[in-house]
Every structure is written in C-alpha cells, then in structure tokens.
Structure 1
Amino acid sequence: MNRQFSLAGLMRLRQTQQVAAASGLAQANSRSASVRERRAAAREELAESSGDAASAASLLAIAAARASAQSMLAELDALAASAEAEASEARTEYTEARRRAVGLEKLEARHGAAFEAHILRAEQSALDEIASSAWHRGSTQDAPRKATS
C-alpha cells in the first residue's frame, strides 16, 4: 500500500480554492458592512438636519437637499442590496469549496487509517512468523533422539 495519499495534489487545490473563497467571502462581508454603515450614517445625518425655512428660497433649498438626499439613499439602498447579493453568492461559493475540501480530507484520513492498519498487520505477521519459527526450532531440538547402539 502506498504511504502517500494519491489525491494529495487535488486536496491541496481544493484547500487553496477554499482559502480563496473564504477571502472572497470576507471581502464581500466587509463591503456589505461598509455600505450598511454608510447608509445608516446618511439616514442619521438626514434625521438630524433641521428643516426651518426662513424664506421661500431657503424652503426651495431644503426641498432640493431632501430630494438629493432621497436619491442618495435610494442609491445606497441599491448598493446595499447588491453587496448583500454578492455576500450571499460568496457564502455559497465558500460553502461549496468547503464541502469539496472536506470530502477529500475525509478520504485522506481514511487512507491514513488504512495505511496504518496495513503496517500494523504486516508487523503482526512478521512477529507471528518469528514466533512460529522459534517455536518450530524449539520443538525439533526437544524431540527425543534415537539412541544409536
């Protein structure tokens, strides 16, 4: 039985894919969190802004600012939805990469256990052979010798 796991190269590839998928997931989660924070900050800033209009011009300026803010919030909402979709896709890719890597890791563990069992059986067989041959040698030496007259 071969000591080296025959799928070791494939397992390294799968583990590399898993690391890459984990990195992609971390980046997607970071982008999503950043967009959520920006959106929350924009909403908080808009909630704190006062709307006291002293004149018609300031009322028009407030209306324009609110319309612009509404448009910005809509863009942030769309960006947040896009970031969440990317994070969900990255999560799916990571889960799939992890599943493929775990399958090979389990095969490698079984291979290692089978190899160890093979080695132990070979050692036991050698020990049995040594014990058996020693017993046979001992029994032929203890056999009664014919007396020669």
Structure 2
Amino acid sequence: MRLRVAGVIVLLYAQPFTRIFQLTVNDVLHDGETTLLQLEEPASPIPEPAAALLLAYIADRDNMNTATNQASRWLFPGRRAGRPARPDHMSSRLREIGIPVAAARGAAIRQQLLELPAPVVADALSYHDKTTSRLLRESGGTWSRYAAGDHSRSPAGWAPKETRDS
C-alpha cells in the first residue's frame, strides 16, 4: 500500500520524492467528507479513490512497530526511529514495478499545466513560477496570457470607457 500511496502522490501532484517523504500525517486534512493534502496554501483536494487509499494507509502505516517509532508523525516513516523513509529506496521500488518516477512526475506537471494557468500550478504544487512557465512553453500550453491575481474586482480608480453611444 505504501508504494501505491507514494505513486499516487507523484502522479497527482507531480511532487519529487524528496518532498513527499517530508510530509507528515498532519499534512493530510480530513473533515469527514473532504480530504486535502497540504503541499502549499491552500491545501490541494485529493480525489476519490485516492483519498480512501491514503486514509487507509495512514491508519495502518508500516515501520511503526519499534518502541521509539510508535508516535511517528511522518507520512512515510523510515526504519530508523524518528526518520522518514529514504526517497532513493522508494523510487527504485516504484521503478521495479513499472513506474518511471521522473517521467511520471514530468508528465503529471505538464498535464496540470495544460489544464490550469502556470501561476496557479506553481502556487498549488510548490513549484517556482519560472519553472512552470518554462514547462508550459515546452508543452505547448495556451495559458501564456493569463494574468495572475484577484480578477473578481476592478482595480482602484478604474472606470469603464465611455462610448459615443452613451
């Protein structure tokens, strides 16, 4: 189950393993209906059935049986007490079962960029905005003219231009 959860986070959120293995159980927010993953502000929703898989994994995480590891808050606790799992070990295990982690992560972020503006993806997934802009250009996305910011209200002092018919 551990491999499946790690793979889902890579594929849904295009996160590197070094970041995934720094997550704690406190980064998974569940209010009974919605499950969120706190990568940045605001937290990102986890779709079903991935949410159910993640919650089931948290309820029965492995490497929790040592006396000093029973209260570990790491989402992926390591074999050594108080330490998270090693990213290189998990990455090689996923490759063994047919998930090329680097390629999967690249495909996941490019797919996000084709569906959402680069600044939104950068904020939601904790990427640098220059990285998401570069990846968007490389993937042929159409969000290049998106202006980030609050579009729900007009800027101060702005008034619609009058036309001759008014």
Q: TM-score by structure 1 length?
A: 0.24
Greater C-alpha Rg: 1
Q: TM-score by structure 2 length?
A: 0.23
Task: Name the structure, 1 or 2, with higher relative contact order (CA <8 Å, separation 6+).
Answer: 1
